[in-house]
Structure 1
Amino acid sequence: MADTGRSRVPSARETMETLMEISKLLNTGLDGETLATCVRLCEGGVNPEALALVIQELLRESSAVKASESSGQSYS
């Protein structure tokens, strides 16, 4: 029986598990669903560097909102 090469190609699940491990090592703060969405966006042609900048900005804004909520300030 001929080798079809399937054993050398990682499955989508293995790839996502590896990406999730890398994400955790880099302390990105991304959950699995968000990471999968980012991968799909990049596969669809979104510039990865631009996507990273947007995510960083969203995380900063989210932190600012949480901080203002915990201090009792309104965020508008």
Structure 2
Amino acid sequence: MNKAIISGGLTVSATDLVPTINWAISGFHGLPPANLSGLVAGAVVMGLHAGYNWLASRAAKPVATQPATPAQ
């Protein structure tokens, strides 16, 4: 079974993550894996997408108004 995260046409699966994780575990020795730039770009796109969704959900919520209290 292939598990993947798909967002906006970008797919990230375990085969993309494993080389980068192994590189990080080894202490970032040697050249970075070729797919690292794609993962960074994917993280940026995911962050922008999440930010847009958050702003859109805030704009869609009606502003709750409190009833006027009588002056005493």
Tell me, yes or no, whether TM beats 0.5. Answer: no
Larger Rg: 2
- TM-score, normalised by the number of residues in structure 1: 0.35
Higher helix share: 1
